[in-house]
Amino acid sequence: MPLKRKNRGRSKGRGKKGRSGFVFCSNCGRRIPEDKAIKRVMWVPTVPAAVARELEKQGAFVPKKRVVKYYCVSCAVHFGVAKIRARDERKELPEEMLSKRYRF
């Protein structure tokens, strides 16, 4: 069967792993498999952004909270979190991932 993507749009593997858990899209609330969801980790300041900016300008330490966001594919594409790639690009890993992997 021809495949549109090498990993079939998921990071699950070919049969060994079985079913994966589910997460909810942080934008639309859709229930999506964990390995298919687009995960983004953000460090958000505990105070409002404008206040945080002002405090950092003065050299104060602003504590930040780790916020994990999961997006479904439709939301990720709509908000530009993930981009649609051309056929030949799609089969390979994106540039940023390759540079991360072979940094040493």
Chain residues binding Zn ion by CB under 5 A are 25, 27-28, 30, 72, 75
CB closer to Zn ion, 10 vs 47: 10
CB closer to Zn ion, 8 vs 31: 31
- Shortest CB 71 distance to Zn ion, Å: 6
Q: What is the DSSP string of 47-100?
A: S-HHHHHHHHHTT----EEEEEEEE-HHHHHHTTSS----HHHHTS--HHHHHH
CB closer to Zn ion, 20 vs 55: 20
